[in-house]
Amino acid sequence: EVAALYEKATSGLLKNNLLLHFAFADYEESRMRMDECHKIYSDLLSNVPDPTLVYIQYMKFARRAEGVPAARAVFKKARDDAKTRYHVYIAGALMEYYTSKSRDIA
């Protein structure tokens, strides 16, 4: 019933509210429904004018759920997107530094 409420909210008047989408993805992650989380982030990436924050949250989710290689794949996708800004690079570097403790990679 909570998932249906989130689905209704994110497809209605609040469809442009990023925090609601992030909360929905976190809820689905807590239910171990990773495919739904990927779908939420992918749909959100195709509907926002500036996907920078979405990519950063998606990288954090991918690292938690699937590990550093999955987060690197999301970062690669963010790098290829012309609409992203420099914040993605900072978040990627910080993630690499704190997860691998290697300054060379970051």
Q: In this structure, what are the phi and psi dihedrals at residue 44, rounded to the nearest 5 degrees?
A: -65, -40
92 burial via Cβ count (<10 Å: 0-12, 13-18, 19+): buried
pTM here is: 0.91
> How far is the C-alpha of 81 from the C-alpha of 45, rounded, in Å?
10
> How far is the C-alpha of 15 from the C-alpha of 86, rounded, in Å?
25
Structure confidence by residue, pLDDT tens digits, 66-100: 999 999 999 999 999 999 999 999 999 999 988 87
Structure confidence by residue, pLDDT tens digits, 7-29: 999 988 888 899 999 999 999 99
